[in-house]
Amino acid sequence: MDITIQATFLPQDAPDASPAFHRDALGFEVRGDAGYDGMRWVTAGPAGRPGTSMVLVTATA
């Protein structure tokens, strides 16, 4: 049996710096960037692994 992680959600508080860190320092692809009503979701994942993603979540009150 193979167990894989397809998506994980990571809260973060630096919506502009966090995607750049994951892209530049870790080599991940930034696949999506969306926001609505004070919230922001950035989807990133390892290059060549489209089935594995993490969602960087920011919520501002």
Q: What is the CATH number of domain 8-59?
A: 3.10.180.10
Are 42 and 31 within 8 A, CB to CB? no
Domain ranges of the chain: 8-59
Q: Give the model's pLDDT for residue 6.
A: 84
- pLDDT category of residue 60 using cuts at 50, 70 and 90: low
| Digit-coded pLDDT (tens) for 15-55 | 788 888 989 999 999 999 998 888 889 999 999 888 889 99
Token look-up 């919230």 returns 39
d(C-alpha 48, C-alpha 18), whole Å: 21
pTM reported for the whole predicted model: 0.76
